[in-house]
Structure 1
């Protein structure tokens, strides 16, 4: 039954796209986020669902969709340069087979990020894309939240929809995305026109946000806890009564602590002492190895270049001997350990040029969203207030991602590049609105000038006899 339901939903999206080709773009968003072919067991797993949606989205836009209003921006050019550079390093990769495997999905994520803004010509399309992203990610988040409430979860054991530990279903990645999407969820509920703001939409949004906050508990990831802290700090920018908000937040935290699983609080306690935690010690050692590797290979080693690493580090362990506890230092040797950071992932795989391009792309997004926020800070126009709210949501989501990316290798995470696509689409719409407003002002000034010139030339009826 589940397999038929998934196939039926996908088939309906494909059929609706025959009338409105943009729906195929939404279908690809759904497929790339949820991966229904991994959830089903019969029909969808036997079909190249992702490829079908990918080709339909591009083909529908190229052959059937209206191109009016679309434009190619500087950030899209940056993504294109990054795509070409990744292709070059893949050809010269240290581990060609592993690099080809990662390249097989990275190029689609980057290409779709370039393509998506071209289709977001109107506010309705931008809102629809944001809605599909929220609901698609929400289907995973809600499942994980329910399982957390029922079982408490566990590190590496919380299975949301599928029993898999990769992509968006990986615990730390899901925790980061779940918290990053909260601002966008609230914006869709407050400003949506597809599902207008009401008690029902806001109630669903709040429930989804609650489920998102449960994900870091269910996955027991320290990254998720840090992301929640950053979200709380960023929310201070928007609330009117900041001290009341801080007080309520502190009370909510104190009230929640007794209900947290003991395994969760024990794992979170290792944040303050990395030497007592082997995972944190491994991260630091990998990062040091990556910096040394980049000194010798400034152009990077291609995807999965970490497979060539080998290093030794010291960690502290507590040993029980006859009822007494003793702290000892052990030497641990590791090989082929992943980067555990998007920043070092870019540095090791794409070298300094790739890291620079990636940071430039991220920094431009933060700056452009801040420009929109400041431009419409005092505006009373509903449309402009909505744009400001969306810019804030996308900026906060990106900041949360950049924090989580410090500790997870998610430099090419497709969902994040979709967020970047939304940022580019929003900036394009706002720029078009600003240009139209300037053109209107220019025409008004020209009309006023002509009227003034006509008055100065004199009126024959009013001239003295």
Structure 2
């Protein structure tokens, strides 16, 4: 039954994407982030759902006239340069044939980011992308949070099998990044119960991230909480909530969780931490000897033998920075960092330039929450390998599309929508301008 439901949604959305290709972007985002087919038990598990979504979207893109240039900001130009550079580092790497599958996977993700920039342009599209991106993780986070609560935190929470976020650490960071996006959506709701439901969902996502036993996610959510407190208006009330809530959540977790978190200070005694350090030294030294990079696999025994002080600890980088550095060299890392610096600046532009525009009040929230999301990615990503995951690039798309919407005064060309939960695309009711009242003339 689950297989039939998933495939029915995929085929229905793919068929709709032939005429409205922006729907195909949403289908791809749902499949890529949530991986619902990996929770099936039959034919849907290995079905080529991503290929179906990709093919239908590309066909729709070729047929539609409602497309524009994807170059909507400096971050996009840097993103394309990054795509070219990682392709070069793969072709001239140590084993191009072995790295091809990973390059192909990353290129498909990146290609759909460009397609999204070409097809999405309205407020409805931006909100739809945010709902799909955050909502996909919210469903998994709510499930994981309930599992953590019912089991007393004695078992780890894992992500969708066979996905970018299958590992407990990567899954935890993705949930942490989803929380600010959920907060943005909550700020757009006017229904009291809807706002309460969103609060509960965010809390469950936080619990699930703790239940993953990820130290990187703990650091990321701590940095995000501090950033929100520092930039918030009600520092006293927010500070009191944090002071009360954090100890309660930590006290709920078992001794095994406390023991793992304590290794942040005693990293020399933790094998996993030392494996990371070995991989970081390996990546650093690789970058000096291979300016173009070695391709997508820097965790090779022969490289650790040459470049790591711990040659027996062959380990993945577990850091977006050292992952890119080892794979694509200093140039690749510079371009990668430049993408996020540019995106951060665009989000800051939304926070400062839209405060005096009533129609763009939601854009202020978008800029602020996307900055919080990027901060979580920057801090948590220092200890996790998620350099090629969709979600951060979706955040880039949200920020750039929102900025273009403001600069082109999108509120003048689009109908206003009833606020609240009806903002969900497809359910919103446009508020049409009232017809002019005829003037009565008396003779």
1:7 and 1:43 in contact (8 A); partners too:
no
**In 2 relative to 1, CA 333–306 (structure 1 residues): closer, same or farther, beyond 3 Å?**
closer
Deviations for 1:62-82, whole angstroms, at most 9, x for unmatched residues? 312513697543322221111
Q: Does 1:61 align with 2:55?
A: no
For residue 369 of structure 1, the aligned residue among 326, 330, 347 is: 347
Structure 2: gaps (5+ residues): 414-443
Deviations for 1:219-271, whole angstroms, at most 9, x for unmatched residues? 11101111111121121245322123212311222333331111111111111
Q: Distance in 2 between matches of 1:252 and 1:313?
A: 45
Match of 1:212 in 2: 205
Deviation at 1:292, TM superposition (A): 1.5
Match of 1:110 in 2: 110
Match of 1:411 in 2: 387
1:179 and 1:227 in contact (8 A); partners too:
yes
Match of 1:310 in 2: 304
**TM-score normalised to the size of structure 1?**
0.82
Q: Distance in 2 between matches of 1:223 and 1:433?
A: 40
Deviation at 1:88, TM superposition (A): 1.4
Q: Distance in 2 between matches of 1:166 and 1:103?
A: 15
1:216 and 1:222 in contact (8 A); partners too:
no
1:290 and 1:347 in contact (8 A); partners too:
yes
Structure 1: gaps (5+ residues): 315-330, 438-465
Alignment map for 1:56-455 (pairs within 5 Å):
56-67=56-67, 72-153=72-153, 157-160=156-159, 162=160, 164=161, 166-191=163-188, 196-307=189-300, 308-310=302-304, 333-377=311-355, 379=356, 381-433=357-409
Q: Distance in 1 between matches of 2:411 and 2:304?
A: 55
**TM-score normalised to the size of structure 2?**
0.86
Match of 2:430 in 1: none
2:350 and 2:363 in contact (8 A); partners too:
yes
Deviations for 1:10-60, whole angstroms, at most 9, x for unmatched residues? 233234435533211111111111223322232323531101101222221
Which structure has the greater CA radius of gyration? 1
2:278 and 2:311 in contact (8 A); partners too:
no
- Number of matched pairs: 412
Q: Distance in 2 between matches of 1:434 and 1:61?
A: 22
Deviations for 1:262-299, whole angstroms, at most 9, x for unmatched residues? 11111111111211211112212221222112111122
1:37 and 1:44 in contact (8 A); partners too:
yes
1:312 and 1:334 in contact (8 A); partners too:
no
Deviations for 1:353-403, whole angstroms, at most 9, x for unmatched residues? 1111101111101111112211124x2x43222111101111110111111
2:122 and 2:405 in contact (8 A); partners too:
yes
Q: Counting strand residues as a fraction of each chain, which structure ranks higher?
A: 1
Deviation at 1:312, TM superposition (A): 11
